[in-house]
Amino acid sequence: MQQFIQAAPGIRLWTEQRGPADAPPLLLVMGAQASGIGWPEEFVDALAEHHRVIRYDHRDTGRSTWAYDTDPYPISTLAEDIVTLLDKLGIARAHLVGLSLGGMLSQLVLADHPDRVASATLMGTNALSTRPYTAPDGTEVPAEELPGIAPEVLEFWARPVEDNGEEAELDRRTEHWRLLAGGQLPFDPAWYRELERRIIAHTGTYTPPSAHSRANPDGLLRTEALAANRVPVQAIVAPTEPVFPPPHPQHLAQCLNAVRVTEIAGMGHALPPAVQGPLVSAILAHTGAVS
């Protein structure tokens, strides 16, 4: 079932729900510039066998309202949209699954509205905390000294995006996924190209979103609130993650008192078929234990 939610005056969010209406709600929170269609169909269907799964388009992505140029907002507004979405759908508490920026937004909800979260599974993200990371040997590493984004990814992000037509844009997006996938699992360019072709068809334009890269990222740290977290959190370790590589997931687990730290073999900053089964199993094990 698809519907639009009024998140704010002049702002509508596209949403889609799958699974039994009376099953525990699970909200999928995508990353920056990313439509909810970025959650692969098979992945959503597998979760929907056990949950009322909701995926949605952030504002300025997909079919949701694109209005940043006339009505700019800080990144934190995207977290407020999560709470509004739950309110409008009549959901008191939901399991959250957040990827990349979606993991940061989920942390903001955990910190500011913990009563709305049944559990959280976070991946491809960093802790919104200044707490140092404690390595296995007891050494403390300042948060700002943890490994950064892979140079090849930074170089790709720095390139100007030119409009050379839809097929050229699909080429560019597929190359982006190759860099994000991590390089350990075989890379299937046709699979990623088809994923992006569906996103473009859903959105109605091949023009890539850019609002989230321009939005103000200030005020996201929640060190003390996350240290007091008691909501069950699972941190996913992606060994070939190029954006927030290990030990970021372990640091995240320490900062949020995670009850589970689960490694998905071969995973990078992407959701190809090879990681979907193990990832679904990890999410369902976590939500099932909470339920």
Number of domains observed in the structure of the chain: 1
Which pTM was predicted? 0.97
Q: Which of helix, strand or coil describes residue 60?
A: coil
Please report, for the domain that includes residue 261, its CATH number.
Answer: 3.40.50.1820
Beta bridge partners of 5: 13
Pull the structure tokens for residue 285: 């094990």
Instruction: Encode the chain (291 residues) as per-residue pLDDT tens digits.
Output: 999 999 999 999 999 999 999 999 999 999 999 999 999 999 999 999 999 999 999 999 999 999 999 999 999 999 999 999 999 999 999 999 999 999 999 999 999 999 999 999 999 999 999 999 999 999 999 999 999 999 999 999 999 999 999 999 999 999 999 999 999 999 999 999 999 999 999 999 999 999 999 999 999 999 999 999 999 999 999 999 999 999 999 999 999 999 999 999 999 999 999 999 999 999 999 999 987
How much is the pLDDT for 87? 98
How much is the pLDDT for 152? 98
Q: How many CB atoms lie within 10 A of CB 168?
A: 12
How much is the pLDDT for 6? 97
- What's the domain range around 179? 2-290
Q: Which of helix, strand or coil describes residue 123?
A: strand
Beta bridge partners of 122: 98, 235
Q: What is the DSSP letter of 145?
A: G
Q: How many CB atoms lie within 10 A of CB 225?
A: 17
How much is the pLDDT for 158? 96
How much is the pLDDT for 4? 98
How much is the pLDDT for 119? 98
Instruction: Decide if 275 contacts 104 (C-beta within 8 A).
Output: no
What are the tens digits of pLDDT across the range 170-183? 999 999 999 999 99
- Averaged pLDDT of the chain: 97
How much is the pLDDT for 95? 98
